[in-house]
Structure 1
Amino acid sequence: MYLSRFIVDPARRGARKLLASPQAMHAAIRGAFADPADYERADARTLWRLDTAAVGILHLYIVSPGQPDLTHMVAQAGRGTAEAWQTRAYGGLLASLQPGQQWAFRLTANPTHSGRKTADSKETQRFGHLRPEQQTQWLIDRSARCGFTVATQQNNEPNVGLHHRQTQTFRRGAGTVTLTTVTYDGLLDITDADAFRHTLSLGIGHGKAYGCGLLTIAPTR
């Protein structure tokens, strides 16, 4: 597994095209892997997330089974410098995970629930959770199977904050996709190291091709 960080230059026309459509960004990232096994395997898949690092600076994080070649993205949307992107092996971190460890985390996800299209319909579809308390509970409900618990604060409230809550609509082929997304920042405690490694390698929730599901961790301060 590999973790890459790519610096996006939003002043470039190509970058603005990618930023306007998760489908276009997905296609560009997919183009970084000549071997399909480097993009997706049974035990790992490519996940990505956009983070705002500072005013006018965006970081694209990619976790992937194989090492990507992002040269084409530098030409289209990056900074033409030696630091345009960095890739590091991810296996050492995955191997070091143990139950009881606490980490700071960030996750952009597509929190959804299933429901009927109409009151008398037998067909169901996914709907995005829109209220903050629903979005927080969505993550808590999935944490146990993902190998962690969300830490609690002194007031027993979940130690997690929500930001960049939005609903995006973009084209995919002849149709459109509507995606409700939210970014979570907080603290977690590992309860099952194998399940947690699985989560870091395969993501959480739906919309993974469109910048959702990538959980990253960092040491607590």
Structure 2
Amino acid sequence: MIYVTRPSPEGEILTQLFNQANVPTQHLPFFNISQGHDLPNLQEQLNQLLPNDIVIVVSPQVTHVIKNYLSNLTLPVNIRYYAIGKKSAQLFSQFTTAKVNYPDKENSEGLLAKLQQEPVQHHTILILCGNSGRQLLAQTLTNRKAKVKSIACYCRKPIFYPPNILSSHIEKQIIIITSLEHLIQLELYSNFEHKMHANLVVISQRIFAKAKQLNWQKILLITSVNHQTIFDAVMLNYDITS
């Protein structure tokens, strides 16, 4: 059984991709997504940006909450837009005619590599993120003398399940983890046997390193949040029919 822990609606999309291929997959989101406490002030923050300042979109959830709670948002066109991945860029593009750039390696490290060639010193950078932020992005760009503001557009609220929800057929489990927060939440439902025998699929070097620290033994690193890339990697690396 494959377990997709990504929140709605993205989690359902990835789950459906596997199910359409007749691969048993369950959506097991670890968080509900709601409006973040900074979202009401987002328009004001955008209005203060100067030419060539930067807006970074960390996930599709940013666009989803804006559509639900701030549908009349107006974005400036003379600034630079970036997203962690292709899906985030495509969704956010509905709000602006400006190009929303994204890296080939669709994670924080990939975006930082792409921004390495961009002038950021003394520019304001708004990171549109969840309530726990993207600390690696903020810290690295701050070290490059950018004026970084993390804007909590959405809030993650944990969903709690029975402690034994993952206790069956552990050796055949494939658990897809797309953020550090999901990995930490997984600790509530996993044990020594999970960490020895279940298969963990992660999308960044940071999550991989943390999983190793938490003693997970069977980890597949994909370095992309793209649904099709995750699907292809899982189908290639695991004997789903066994």
TM-score (norm 2): 0.22
TM-score (norm 1): 0.23
| Greater share of strand | 1
